[in-house]
Amino acid sequence: MVRQAHHEDKSFCHKDSPHPELVEGRNASPQGTTFETVSQMSLNVLTHSEQEVVRRTMEGAFKYFDFDFDTRLGVSEDEMRGLLSQWPNVDDRDDDGCACVAINNTLNDLLHGVGISDAEAMQLTGVNRAEMYRIYKKWASARGWSSTGIR
């Protein structure tokens, strides 16, 4: 299923989102699809240095993905650039939103998909893979997710 994002600033997210305005908690779209939002941005639980690792990971996506960027990450290159231009002021509350999908899928793919080495992780983010994964789990846990993986 292809993700269609909901985001207040539609300048870089999919404009044809079927999602109504979100409120905290569980919501249903007119089509009956249910999706989750969290009451606060999960990025806010990360320290500034942890947020910087996430940002660098998202920037690194451009190094590892080209023709398959959208397919592997669930967001377009333009959407990713839009998020990075607003960093760290991105709203990752909506599980189906651009920010959440981009953060989750980039961390997941670089750790488990293309599987960068510790040396590549250090060069890209300034931390090793274990620290990237710890930050990924901390962010996912703040969302109420019991596991990480592609969304």
Nearest to 57 by CA among 138, 120, 141: 120
Strands (E), 2-144: 26-28, 34-36
Lowest-confidence pick of 17-21, 84-88, 127-131 = 17-21
Give the phi and the psi of residue 7 in degrees, each rounded to 5: -160, 140
Contacts 24+ apart (CB under 8 A), 140-143: 140/42, 140/104, 142/38, 142/42, 142/45, 142/46, 143/38, 143/42, 143/95, 143/100
Phi, psi of 78 (to 5 degrees): -65, -40
pLDDT score, position 40: 60
- % the chain with pLDDT above 90: 64
How high is the pLDDT of residue 16? 38
Q: Determine the average pLDDT of the residues in 126-130.
A: 97
The answer to whether 111 and 132 are in contact (CB under 8 A) is yes
pTM comes to 0.75
- For residue 56, give the nearest of 118, 132, 115, 5 by alpha carbon: 132
Per-residue pLDDT of 11-32, as tens digits, reads 345 433 333 222 233 333 333 3
Averaged pLDDT, 57-64: 96
